[in-house]
Amino acid sequence: MGLFDRFKKHDQDRLEEGLEKTRTSLFGKLDRLVRGKDTVDDEVLDELEEVLVTSDVGVKTTLDIIDRVEARVARDKYVSTKELQAMIRAEIADLMLGDSAERPAGFDAPLPHRPYVIMVVGVNGVGKTTTIGKLAYRYKEAGKRVLLGAADTFRAAAIEQLDIWAERAGVPIIKQKHGADPAAVAFDTLQAATARDVDVVIIDTAGRLHTKGGLMDELAKIKRVMGRQVPGAPHEVLLVLDASTGQNAIRQAEAFTESVDVTGLVLTKLDGTAKGGIVIGISNEFRIPVKYIGVGERIEDLQVFDRRAFVDALFK
């Protein structure tokens, strides 16, 4: 089953229209250019540059990719259209982690720890709470006992929002009142998880810009406190990135990695026209795999990341 299936279906009918309108879906463009040509010329490389830059891959990573492609072309003498395309894709995919070891295990697979604690972090409005709702649903469906912790005690109605997601997913939630100490909520949640014999705990945190030192420290503290209750917790720290974000995502990855040691990325809002190309450089530079993607606002709109499908989508 293609993991991008839903994505494709969702987008299929709008694809043609979108292609024309946005001119960012450049696989078609590249295809047109390469068709009938046997070698990579500057025009193709220029096109490739445009495809990548307009997908938010960033100038630096784009140049890296172009270098790699050129080096490979110099090595392999004759290149057919098909080969060229495959080559370009392979070079890009290679930049991202994504071997089976880094791929998240299926939701029904046995978990390495019990309770398995996931902490979700990111800047404001990227889709943390929604992703938690989706993850909870997946784990629940796979037969796991899930518990959510509402450690965003800051944003207006953040607790209520997670509460609704908990209800939709059919999982319990630990919460305190608005303004409570988020670390205390996280601690309580882990305590409850131990007492209730839960499999998976997912902690929501308030959105925060990575430039705010005090808030980043608070995040580090939430993390530390969890480790005190459950050794090794959190076992997974997911940084949520919005696919429409540009180069600032690098800063985000850098700062969050520094303060809470991110172990995986979630790329949300891929159901729009943004390609989320920024994760290529991030995955490469920080050696963090992309684990999941968000493709809509419904509870089922979450997929396990597939880097080949992702790269293919860059050229669509």
Partner 1 sequence: MFESLSEKLEGALKTVTGQGRITELNIATTMREIRRALLDADVNYQVARDFTERVKEKALGGEVLRSVSPGQQLVKIVYDELVHFLGETHHGIELAPVPPTIILVAGLQGSGKTTFCGKLARYYKRKGRAPMLAAADVYRPAAVDQLKKLAESIGVPVYALEEDGQVVQDAVRVASEAVAEARRNARDILIIDTAGRMHIDERMMQEVQDIKTAVEPHEILFVVDSMTGQDAVNTAREFNERLDFDGVVLTKLDGDTRGGAALSIRSVVHKPIKFASTGEKLDALTEFYPDRMAQRILGMGDVVSFVERAQEQFDEKQAARLQKKIRTEEFNLEDFYEQLQRIKKMGSLKDLLGMIPGMGRQIRDLDVDDDAFKHIEAIISSMTVEERLNPQIINGSRRRRIARGCGLEVHDVNQLLKQFREMKKMMKTMTKLMGKGRAVDLSALMGGR
Ligand X SMILES: Nc1nc2c(ncn2[C@@H]2O[C@H](COP(=O)(O)OP(=O)(O)OP(=O)(O)O)[C@@H](O)[C@H]2O)c(=O)[nH]1
Closest separation between CB of residue 69 and ligand X, Å? 31
Q: Which is nearer to ligand X, 126 or 190 (CB)?
A: 126
Among 160, 228, 261, 287, binds partner 1 (CB under 8 A): 160
297 binds partner 1 (CB under 8 A): yes
Single out the segment in contact with partner 1 by CB under 8 A; choices: 80-88, 101-109, 184-192, 240-248.
240-248
Interacting span for ligand X (CB under 6 A) from 57-65, 102-110, 151-159, 250-258: 151-159
Is residue 130 near Mg ion by the rule CB under 5 A?
no
CB of 252 to partner 1, least distance (A): 8
Nearer to partner 1 by Cβ, of 37 and 168: the residue is 168
Cα separations (Å) of 108 from 135, 142, 144, 267, 270? 12, 5, 7, 22, 25
Stretch that binds Mg ion, among 8-16, 49-57, 99-107, 125-133 (CB under 5 A): 125-133
Please tell me the distance from the alpha carbon of residue 245 to that of residue 243, in angstroms, as a whole number: 5
Torsion of CA 8, 69, 83, 24, to 10 degrees: 30
Tokens 């891959």 belong to 57
- Length of the chain counted residue by residue: 316
CA angle 233, 110, 239 (to 5 degrees): 45
Instruction: Report how many residues bind Mg ion under the rule CB under 5 A.
Output: 2
What CA–CA distance (Å, rounded) separates 50 from 33?
13
DSSP 6-51: HHHHHHHHHHHHHHHHH----HHHHHHHHTT--S--HHHHHHHHHH
Q: Using CB positions, name the residue nearest to ligand X.
A: 207
Q: At 274, is the secondary structure helix, strand, or coil? A: coil
- Within 10 A of 207 (CB to CB), how many other CB atoms are there? 20
Decide: residue 99, CB within 10 A, 0-12 exposed, 13-18 middle, 19+ buried: exposed
Contacting ligand X within 186-215 (CB under 6 A)? 206-207, 209
Task: Match 């060229």 to its residue by tokens.
Answer: 84
Chain position whose Cβ is nearest to Mg ion: 129
Asked if residue 149 binds ligand X (CB under 6 A), the reply is: no
Among 58, 98, 127, 281, binds ligand X (CB under 6 A): 127
Pick from 155, 233, 154: nearest CA to 189:
233
The residue ranges that bind partner 1 (CB under 8 A) are 11, 14, 18, 21-22, 24, 50, 53-56, 58-59, 123-127, 133, 154-158, 160-161, 163-165, 168, 209-214, 216-217, 242, 244-249, 251, 255, 269, 271-275, 278, 297
The residue ranges that bind ligand X (CB under 6 A) are 122, 124-130, 152, 155, 158, 206-207, 209, 268-269, 271, 294-297, 301
